[in-house]
Amino acid sequence: MEELVNAFYPKVYADPDLSPIFQGDMSEIMRKQRMFLTQFLGGPALFSQEFGPPAMRYRHLMHEITPKRAECWLRCMWGAF
């Protein structure tokens, strides 16, 4: 999981379609993602303990998620594997 997060976010920040919605400190976003994935994959509820329930839809409402951005996100994720 650590390797996935470390490989994924540099790709996201470098992507011209995704970088506008990934503002801020990459290391903090990566930390949150590691916590979320740990919880999502059955480990301790690290994300919920610090931030409350994941509520993915609510947390992403402020961002314009377009089909193009979804495609870019998937391409970055596949490239991180």
Q: What is the pLDDT of residues 21-64, one digit of tens each?
A: 998 899 999 999 999 999 999 999 999 999 999 998 898 888 99
| Tally of structural domains, the chain | 1
Please, is 35 exposed, middle or buried when counting C-beta atoms within 10 Å of its C-beta (0-12, 13-18, 19+)?
Answer: buried
Phi-psi region of 24 (alpha: psi -120 to 50; beta: other; left: phi over 0): left
If you ran DSSP here, which 8-state letter would residue 67 be given?
H
Q: pTM of the entire structure?
A: 0.85
Q: What is the pLDDT of residues 12-23, one digit of tens each?
A: 999 999 999 998
Tokens of 39: 């919880």
Give the domain CATH number at 62. 1.10.490.10
Q: Which domain holds residue 38?
A: 2-80
